[in-house]
Chains A and B, each alone.
Chain A
């Protein structure tokens, strides 16, 4: 871990802070999540570092809890999208033939519908809770992961060692998890970072539109929505969650860039 470039260090530092804050939110947050502790849109003071929000809750507390929700949903949805997308993508590549055709065309179909519209339609008929959100976002995003993993796996399945495993009589599961997965890991790991960022943006967008996380639960998109009227009066409250989203995205991008570099370059990479 010696030769980490400065940009990646910065990225790792901020990402680390956000994740730690999310995990230990109840310990760090100065007030309760939905506790009204002051006036509407109080400016920052020693009691309320970032001031208060549209109904007088401590904004810093809201941001910390909001980060917890946003990051949790994004992480869970990313995990879901990778497990589904990668397994199906590998399966399609290994099976080939009509299995591949059916899966790929189905994925094309889903991808042809803008995912935000798709999500809005689904959320308007489904109960809006965290589980629905995670499953919906995870499955919608898994189409992108499916594309990538299938493309990577198609290159690997034609290798002689995969043919050797087939000739040995190995089951498809072994071929996917023991022969293909270890060799496809580098591009997938790099992709995780990027997909995670899209998840953060996606959940924030949904919440901003009022179809994501429901109040009184806090999340970054929701905080922007609650405080957006304040912008007209020069109140900063809506901008803090926006800063948080931006810095988290940039930090993770920096880390993902570095991983991508490490795994794809012929020089410092271990691949």
Chain B
């Protein structure tokens, strides 16, 4: 590297104080000495699972430690000065002027009471980079560059008046407005739908290229980071695992952990032929929420077979979770009927016989909130056994242990509380609770989307394994097409409350596509260089988030 790096990090150590229940507070180290350089105008991707320390490192570039986190050692040089040493005044001049930040949730970061323009130019004016009118002119230009509709006037709207994808781009404009040297992007597209993500990603990439700003791009999705970065640093538990160019990391990973990340979602699942009688038949279901005047579900008809998986795919707001609520009886439909294992299900849940409730179980997206934090794993799994089968004492204990073995958790978990489990373990316990009822069908509502890729992979493998043993059918609700490819036998694509495409997996995923399915399929980030440009060239339909 010939010129001096813009950002130079040496031996960065970050610590925090934790407060374990019933013990004295203790200090732990969450980042154990990380080194890297970032040249002007380059993009470095920081990637790792949750808890890897990637956001913490990103914020350290602004000399900031979030919520009790402390920068305990090492050096962070920005434009040649060590910002950990320069003191509060200098750091204040740095933030919002030389280094800016784009957070994951734009919706939570914008002040809902102020207009967008006011917030976008705030830092630039405050840092005396521009006067108000120049800053506004620059903001409009950035809005245009980021592909926002009506760039002249969008600034006079309030944050709730634009869509999630647009707001994320406004936030990028906010970060770029003071002409910083470095922007820290902290998972800027993670909260967005795939079809929206692709546009935001393209906008961010163009903006970075046009303004010549350097960036730290933090994400857990290797395929995303591969599209925008020059270099990638893989982090795990506060330590660097591997550092290299995008090309090298994607095509020739050296470390085992990186290889696992690159090859994630390598599950192969042979499509099963539909049986003769469906276990679940949804016929012409139309539904709306109380007090609203439009149908969330419009004339939905799908079928599922014993021991098979139907994947329902769609973006947020497409009605896929509502479909689950209708099937479980939490939201009675306004028209249509549901047949389960030959019997017609009553529309509302309280009137259903116990047998119907037992045979139709559900697993939730957030395992944290799906388990009572004041009950032990033994109680959580044991309750359905007791409730449906009247098991007691030693017999119940034995069955609980069998179930724990089935979900690969083994001994010693019965007496633990949910707070003492990791995310993946929690989801496994939820699976065991559903299995305890010996169901014929399980509704899986986004069960892997809150988990890290490697952990999610483990859960999917487990679900497939259990399907073979228990012969249970899954209604798999997800927005993630990679998951669908991995486990589905048949697929229903939903868009604005309608099933736009439905059939066996091989048929749904092979051309010719309708416009929406094409958009959805092409928007799933692929782990190869230049994918983004390729897709944008071939698209037939604009994404809904625009």
Contact = CB atoms under 8 A, between A and B. Distances in A.
Contacts of B437: 168
A164 interface: yes
Give the residue among B354, B358, B369, B372 with the most A Cβ atoms within 10 A: B372
B349 A160 contact: no
Interface in A168-186: 168-170, 178-179, 182-183
Interface stretch (A64-72, A73-81, A263-271): A263-271
B366 interface: yes
Interface string A16-32: 00000000000000000
Contacts of A268: 19
Contacts of B328: 167
Nearest to A156: B372
Given A179-B372, A182-B372, A183-B373, A168 B384 contact: yes
A166 B371 CA distance: 13
B268 interface: no
A128 B366 CA distance: 55
A176 to B, nearest CB: 13
Given A159-B369, A160-B366, A161-B372, A167 B21 contact: no
Contact of B383 (A160, A166, A168): A168
Contact of B370 (A160, A182, A266): A160
Interface residues of B, number: 27
A40 B358 CA distance: 77
B374 A270 contact: no
Given A164-B362, A268-B19, A270-B21, A170 B372 contact: no
Given A166-B349, A167-B328, A168-B357, A161 B21 contact: no
Contacts of A108: none
A178 B358 CA distance: 20
A167 B433 CA distance: 12
A163 interface: yes
A21 B19 CA distance: 39
A268 B22 CA distance: 8
B25 interface: yes
Contact of A267 (B25, B361, B364): B25
B374 A183 contact: yes
A168 B350 CA distance: 10
Nearest to B434: A164
Nearest to A182: B374
Nearest to B379: A178
Nearest to A163: B330
A163 B364 CA distance: 10
A270 B369 contact: no
B387 interface: yes
B357 A169 contact: yes
Contacts of A269: 21
Contacts of B364: 160, 164
Contacts of A166: 330, 349
A167 B349 contact: yes
Contacts of A267: 19, 25
A202 B328 CA distance: 50
A179 B374 CA distance: 8
Contact of A167 (B25, B362, B366, B372): B362
Contact of B369 (A161, A167, A170, A266): A161
Contacts of A170: 387
B387 A168 contact: yes
A269 B22 CA distance: 8
Q: By DSSP majority rule, is chain A's interface helix, strand, loop, or mixed?
A: helix
Interface string B413-443: 0000000000000000000010001000000
Contacts of A183: 372-374
A166 B361 CA distance: 11
A164 B433 CA distance: 10
Contacts of B372: 161, 178-179, 182-183
Nearest to B17: A267
Contacts of B361: 167
Nearest to A183: B374
Nearest to B445: A160
Contacts of B330: 163, 166-167
B22 A270 contact: yes
A191 B21 CA distance: 23
A163 B19 CA distance: 31
Contact of B371 (A161, A178, A266): A161
A266 B352 CA distance: 41
A116 B222 CA distance: 67
A266 to B, nearest CB: 7
A43 B390 CA distance: 71
Contacts of A169: 352, 354, 357-358, 387
A172 B371 CA distance: 18
Interface string B93-113: 000000000000000000000
Nearest to B22: A270
Interface in A133-181: 159-161, 163-164, 166-170, 178-179
A191 B323 CA distance: 41
A164 to B, nearest CB: 6
Contacts of A178: 372, 375
B438 to A, nearest CB: 13
A169 B359 CA distance: 12
B19 A161 contact: no
A100 to B, nearest CB: 15
Interface string B375-396: 1000000011001000000000
Interface in A45-67: none
Which of A167, A179, A266 has the most chain B CB atoms closer than 10 A to its own CB?
A167
Interface in A236-271: 266-270
A72 B371 CA distance: 40
B67 to A, nearest CB: 10
A183 B366 CA distance: 18
A270 B22 CA distance: 7
A96 to B, nearest CB: 11
A20 to B, nearest CB: 29
A146 B192 CA distance: 40
A154 B425 CA distance: 28
Contacts of A161: 369-372
A182 B354 CA distance: 26
A268 to B, nearest CB: 6
A94 to B, nearest CB: 12
Interface in B97-139: none
Nearest to B361: A167
Given A169-B354, A267-B25, A164 B370 contact: yes
Contacts of B21: 269-270
Nearest to B329: A167
Contacts of A266: 19
Given A178-B372, A266-B19, 14 more contacts: A160-B364, A160-B369, A161-B372, A163-B330, A164-B433, A167-B349, A168-B383, A168-B387, A169-B352, A169-B354, A169-B387, A178-B375, A183-B372, A267-B19
11 contacts: A160-B366, A161-B370, A167-B330, A167-B349, A167-B361, A167-B362, A168-B357, A182-B375, A267-B25, A270-B21, A270-B22
Interface of A: 159-161, 163-164, 166-170, 178-179, 182-183, 266-270
For the complex of A and B, 7 pairs with smallest distance between CB atoms: A182-B374, A160-B370, A169-B357, A160-B364, A160-B369, A161-B372, A267-B19
